[in-house]
Structure 1
Amino acid sequence: MRNVRQAAVPQVQLVTFSVGGEEFGLDVFSVHEILRYQEVTPVPRAPAFVEGVLDVRGTVVPVVDLRRRFEVAQIGYDDETRIVLVEFAGERLGLVVDSVTEVLRAPETSISAPPAYIKGLSAEFIRGIVRHNGRLIILMDLDRILSSEERIALESADLESADLEGADVQAAEGVAEGA
C-alpha cells in the first residue's frame, strides 16, 4: 500500500478568551501581548466602555472593557482577568477579558459565517464562528470593535494627561475639604 499524502489544509491560529461565559477568538497575529489585569488610569470624556489607559513600557495604551463593550453583566476583576494587547488601526489597544483560554490551530474550513438571525450590537463584532473539538468559538472582527465615531471620541480624550487631570481633581477636593 502506498502512502498517499493529503493536501495541506490552510490553518488559522487563534488566541481564545472568555467574556461573560462565552468563548471568543482573535487571530494570533493581531495579539502582541497578554498581561495580568492591573489598575488603569481613568480618562475623562472617554466612551463608557473605555476602562482608561495603561502605561506599557512607556507607551500610553487605551484599555477597552469587553464586558461593557458587549453589554454583558459586570463582575469584579480576579486573578484570571487579563488585558490582551492588540494592534488596532495602527495603534496598541488593550482589551479586558475574563480569562485567556489557549492558543489553538484550526482548519480554515472550520470557520462559518455568523448565523443570519444574530442582529444588533454583538453582530457587528463577529467575523465568524469556529467549530473546534466540539466547541463553538466566536471569531471577533477586531477592525470593527470601535466605530468611526468611537475612534474619534477616544482620540479626542486627552490620553497623555489623564493621570495629571485625576491628580488635579484629587488636589482640588483636598483643598475643598480643608477649607
Structure 2
Amino acid sequence: MSDIATLRSRAAPAASTSTSGAGRLEVVSFTLGDEEYGIDIQKVQELRGYDAVTRIANAPDYIKGVVNLRGTIVPIIDMRIKFGLGEPTYDQFTVVLVLNVAGRVLGMVVDSVSDVITLAAEQIKPPPQMGSVLDTDYLIGLGVLEGRMLILVDIDRLMSGEELVRIETLAA
C-alpha cells in the first residue's frame, strides 16, 4: 500500500516552469469506476486499505460505518455509492483516504489511488455549467494533464456543514 510520502516522491511535475508555487494545486488522484478524480493533498492524512467497518443503524447507504483509528472513531463514506456509480466491489486495490475536513476526520472509500499530481493554474479548467440538472458546486474544476482529465473535487463543499454534522452524529 502506498503512503502519502511515497506518492509525493512520485509526483508528476506541472507543465509550468514557474517555481513560485502560486496557482498550483497538488492533488491525490483516485478512481471511481472509469473516471479519475483528484483531491487536494493537504486534506489527506493517510491512505489505508479497506477493512471491515462497524455498521451504524439508520445511516445512509453511502456511510459504510465507522472504524477505530488509533483511538479516533472515523466515519467511512463510500464515494462510489455517494455519487451513484453502481455497486462497489472491495478488493486489494480499494483504498480509504483518511481526510481532515473542517477539523473532522473521515474516511473516503475509493476504487484505487494512483499518484500525486501537481497541476498549474492553466491546467485547471472551470467545471461545466449543468444548470439545475446536475449539482457541480463541489467541483473545483477539471484538471487536464497529458491526455488525462481529472475531476477535481472540493471535499469541503462536498461534505457540507449539514452533512458533516449528520456524519458526526452517527459516529458518536
- Please give the TM-score of this superposition, normalised by the length of structure 1: 0.78
Q: How does 1:26-175 map to 2 (within 5 A)?
A: 26-117=39-130, 120=133, 123-157=136-170, 159-160=171-172
Shift of 1:97: 0.1
Structure with greater helix percent: 1
Unaligned runs of 5+ in 2: 1-16
**Cα distance in 2, alignment partners of residues 111 and 8 from structure 1:** 18
SS at match of 2:80: helix
Change in CA separation of 1:149 and 1:141 when aligned onto 2, cut-off 3 Å: same
Identity over the aligned pairs, expressed in percent? 34
Any gaps of 5 or more consecutive residues in structure 1? 1-5, 161-179
* Alpha-carbon distance in structure 1 between the residues aligned to 2:144 and 2:40: 15
Using the alignment, how far apart are the partners of 2:164 and 2:133 within structure 1? Answer: 19
How has the CA–CA distance of structure 1 residues 96 and 90 changed in structure 2, closer, same or farther, with 3 Å as cutoff?
same
Alpha-carbon distance in 2 for matches of 1:57, 1:64: 18
Alignment-derived partner of residue 20 in structure 1 = 33
Give the aligned partner of residue 3 of structure 2.
Answer: none
- Structure 1 residues 22 and 30: CA distance shift in structure 2, 3 A: same
Query: Which residue is 1:165 aligned to?
Result: none
Q: Is the 8 A contact 1:85 1:92 kept in 2?
A: yes
* CA–CA distance in structure 2, aligned partners of residues 126 and 55 of structure 1: 30
Larger Rg: 1 or 2?
A: 1
Name the CA shift for 1:29/1:148 in 2 (closer, same or farther; >3 Å): closer
Residues 77 and 86 of structure 1, relative CA distance in 2, 3 Å threshold:
same
